[in-house]
Structure 1
């Protein structure tokens, strides 16, 4: 598999989608859609996908659609860095897609934008990773079908570790020390992405905190997170962190091209890294930040949603059931043939030979032991608020407590709007 294209957008940037809409009350404005939507292709079902970096993905999605004999399904393959803005803008119009991939976000539910899919998921509910079911459930109803789970962790070059005489770091302090010893005139010690946004939630979890607690209250404003922010600032200013790489963290090129000894990335890039680096590749989770914390892995991923405002919503749901519930062969192909993803269906994951040995098996173990899944109540505006904290305290020299206080105000405004 070739290295990922630089033109492809940041996979996690979609979590920052439609901030203007979020600020205006989630997707309430989507009520302006008069129900005549369903895309510009007449009687065809229209689905939106972001442009995956792995070669063959676009062809695969279109192959699956072509095999469906009950409707003509067309695919809008959205390239560039603006998938989320195109998706959310389109949902406000008569040309909205009938189905689309995204992440579980409660405002999609509360605004009536996505269809309740409980009836198609319920018969196979026990065959899904139950954390995926939970992250798509509101008031006992399931919205969206998980297609892939994407564990994210650190990849590293064992040969460079051996040369520098260092071991895999177990704490954030050790990561900072290891990065310093790995840094040379040509290679930086570690790469966390150009904006550092990918490691915000892993750092919060590794500090023994969380985004929200079980009662949807702020859980990230802790002494451990403050300590973590100070340590991240130390790493950012150390000179040992690769900044402004040609492509962001989701692309394996920083490690593959020898720009860094350690790179935060996703399991999807593992085949591309193995093709370039062979056996000179290892993985480890985000290391614990404080004594109260423990290593963490963010399990991102993608889910298929049906646009409830489409006049072809029932037909779209039928297609979703056919492809993402009934067609296990296609589900396995999608998860394992174009990069490595963990299949959300337990039966498929258990039979996935590609994930049973070597580095992929190590990645799955990290996923199992340290994984954290999306919280459907953690909205775009909340994500943006924590990104602002990192911008203020890590990229700049702001006071962590003051930045977290500011973040609290933004998050509490969202929580009040959503939960009262």
Structure 2
């Protein structure tokens, strides 16, 4: 597959890093090169799956003339490697960050980039910029936006007399009507949506994981109601389970195993090639009177190590690449996979995003995008995912499960606010 790298930020994945990988991150293999003009800077990326991406970022670095930038591609558990390296003097100067940004901010491990971003702040997709902000300061520059949408097969819906669903109730009803002996109505992943949905159903019900004032955002009966409907999809046997590939790959959709599939924007070129114009894209539909259409978005950000030997030079390079060089930003988003530039102006004028389902996906991400908030920690995520699994797959009582998650989230918020 070509989407392993960037889809990590939209669905928690992964396993533990090997001890050797962490040791390498803490050792002398930093990729620094002291030859050439200007200060030597090390830049780290996680291992992207798209062919050509590694060569592209090396080309960008080589084009910078004010420092000697060496690029490292970091396979394995990138977040853990980076966290360990930032505690040493041999870590990166500039690096990608997604998951552990709050800990790195509170630990004084990343530099404040507010002054770099402020002049163009309003041009960044606000949903992906928000998780990079802590106490009104900006700590990372979003690179590209990934999003997930609901793909539906126009011909199959028309044959069944089903309209594209605009609410979760309509989604449940449509999935049932579209299910036959040969085709399932909906594919949310081989686990029934446990791994990919995250807070999407809650947001669609008008709630949130964490409110803007830093409180749990799903202490509401609407949360249990919407998750019960996801359970109904599973119980009704209208979900495709056990597909040859999981939700991030569109194979089940293009092969006709399912009439609707939740997947990433990165799948759109493959779907277009296979189905032509016989498909459309939708947000996750709203639920209840206070609900809203919802699409999850995420973005790796470029950060600067607070322990960099050359902090001013590292900031200057980050600004040059991810703010000034809009041509490189657009190239990175659309030449090696299919993603949305983090800058609204670039997304608006990108040729590949101006028509059809691609243009609609950009509109949905701009108007209805939400991202996991900075205060949503890995402990919160694990507790919620475990509860979601019990609700969807085992039929556990949603209210009971969510009460336990709320207690965990409240304790985590107290911890991180007092750190």
- Preserved CA contact (<8 Å) 1:36 1:311: no
Instruction: Give TM-score, length-normalised by structure 1.
Output: 0.86
1:187 is aligned to: 183
Taking a change above 3 Å as real, the CA distance of residues 292 and 319 of structure 1, as seen in their structure-2 partners, is same
Structure 2: distance between partners of 1:232 and 1:8 = 28
Where 2:149 maps in the other structure, the secondary structure is strand
**Corresponding position of 1:356:** 354
8 Å contact kept, 1:47–1:97? yes
> Separation in 2 of the partners of 1:9 and 1:354?
19
Write the distance in 1 (CA, Å) between the matches of 2:41 and 2:206: 45
- Relative to structure 1, is the Cα distance of residues 211 and 393 closer, same or farther in structure 2, using a 3 angstrom cutoff? same
Cross-structure match for 2:113: 117
**Distance across 2 between alignment mates of 1:273 and 1:319:** 37
Quote the Cα distance in structure 2 between the aligned partners of 1:151 and 1:8. Answer: 14
Unaligned stretches of 5+ residues in structure 2: 35-39
Distance across 2 between alignment mates of 1:10 and 1:347: 23
* Residue of structure 1 equivalent to 2:245: 247
The 5 A counterparts of 1:7-406 are: 10-12=7-9, 15=12, 39-41=30-32, 43=34, 45-79=41-75, 82-92=77-87, 95-103=90-98, 105-195=101-191, 196=193, 197-406=195-404
RMSD value over aligned CA atoms? 3.1
Whether contact under 8 Å (1:39, 1:95) holds in the other structure is yes
Shift of 1:231: 1.2
Aligned length: 406
Quote the offset at 1:356 in angstroms: 2.0
Once residues 127 and 215 of structure 1 are traced to their aligned partners in structure 2, the CA distance between those partners, rounded to angstroms, is 24
Rounded Cα–Cα distance in structure 2 between residues aligned with 1:266 and 1:170: 19
Distance in 1 of aligned mates of 2:273 and 2:88:
43
TM-superposed CA distance for 1:124, in Å, is 2.6
Post-superposition Cα deviations, 1:24-67, rounded to whole Å, max 9, x if no partner, equal xxxxxx9xxxx998925354533332333433322222221222
TM-score normalised according to structure 2 size: 0.86
State the alpha-carbon separation in 1 of the partners of residues 228 and 176 from structure 2.
Answer: 17
Q: For 1:52 and 1:260, locate their aligned partners in 2 and report how far apart those are by CA, in whole Å.
A: 28
> Secondary structure at 1:154's aligned position in 2?
strand
Instruction: List gaps (5 residues or longer) in structure 1.
Output: 21-29
Residues 148-200 of structure 1: CA distance to partner in whole angstroms, max 9, x if unpaired? 12232101211221222211112222212222222233332211123423212
Shift of the 351–237 alpha-carbon distance from structure 1 to 2, 3 Å rule, reads: same
Q: Which digits, 9 at most, give the CA deviation of each residue in 1:269-308, with x for residues without a partner?
A: 2122212222122101111222321221112222111222
Instruction: Name the CA shift for 1:325/1:5 in 2 (closer, same or farther; >3 Å).
Output: closer
